[in-house]
Amino acid sequence: MAFLVCVTGRDNSKLMAELRASLPDVDIREWPDAGELAEIEFVLAWNAPESLWQQLPNLKVVQSFGAGVDGITLSALPADVQVCRIVDPALADDMAEYVLGHVLAHKLRLGLYYRQQQQRLWRPKRACAGNRVGILGLGQLGQVAATKLQRNGFEVLGWSRSEKALEGITQFWGQSQLSEFASQCDYVVCLLPLTAQTRGILNKALFEAMPSHGVLINVARGAHLNEIDLLDALDNEQIAAATLDVFASEPLAAEHAFWDHPKITMTPHVAALTSLKTATAQIVANMQAMQKGQPLSHCVDLKLGY
């Protein structure tokens, strides 16, 4: 039995050291030095090659090295394989703090005053009046963000794939209610999982439904956003501004139009960073649970994708 780490696009030396120290009796391998593939039962994955999954006849568990599972081609996995994700309790608080901070930054016009400072301009204005924050996605991250916003005096609206009962949140659900939701939001925050249904959901139709003073904040996945539609919406004053922490391709290309756009605030995918120790502890716990035939933690529905 072997454990394969297939997390591409990053230096995994610290991760491998943590895993081997925590699982000294387990044969832990790192892609592409996978050895005999029939021996592998547990894979820690992010952006693994799709062709890998067909070569693992005894695969039992795929553990995502992230809060989502969009870095794994779920459709390529056998139906009996369990897929788990990382759930970092601190991550939700960090995300909520980021969302609150950027809502306040737009409300208080801090970007405007920063630009005026560079030009030595003195033009005071009242804070923006809008107080309604709409959250796309009412999972763990969305609910914690909603609570923090409410505690700071904001009215929260929420949209989800299906109906939910959450106290204190004006709720919308399903595709038929998406435009109505967007039309009532001063700020739209995307915290959705990335699925076939949510890919490209931040698009022309949504921006046309939002009020002209509306602000988009995307902290979910870059593939949720139609970039051309956003640029058009900003240039045509359909919406007022956007804060983006995630992008379809990261790091963002130096020639990308987002860098110099006066209505876009960007951060380099830092809204919520999972602790390596927290992630390792959950990975190790699921590995040990698999060995003992016990239930795994934070499993996802392969059909829903979250």
- Catalytic position from the list 109, 132, 261, 269: 269
Is 298 tagged catalytic? no
| The token pair that represents 166 in the structure block | 């959450």
CA distances from 85 to 40, 71, 100, 299, 302 (A): 19, 11, 25, 6, 12
Alpha helix (H) ranges present in the chain?
13-22, 89-107, 110-118, 140-151, 178-183, 204-209, 227-235, 276-292
C-alpha distance from residue 10 to each of 13, 28, 48, 65, 93 (Å): 9, 18, 12, 12, 25
DSSP lists the bridge partners of residue 264 as 242
Where are any strands of DSSP class E within the chain?
2-7, 27-30, 40-46, 61-64, 82-84, 132-136, 155-160, 170-173, 187-190, 215-218, 241-244, 264-266
User: Residues in the chain, how many?
Assistant: 306
Among 192, 89, 220, smallest CA distance to 144 is for 89
Across the beta sheet with 155-160, what order do the strands follow? 170-173, 155-160, 132-136, 187-190, 215-218, 241-244, 264-266
> b/e for 132-159, b at 16 or more Cβ within 10 A?
bbbbbbbbebbbbbbbbbeeeebbbbbb
Using alpha carbons, list the distances in angstroms from residue 37 to 30, 208, 248.
12, 50, 31
Distance of alpha carbon 305 from alpha carbon 151, whole angstroms:
31
Given 85, 102, 106, 221, which residue is catalytic? 221
Establish whether 224 is a catalytic residue.
no
Residues with catalytic roles: 221, 269
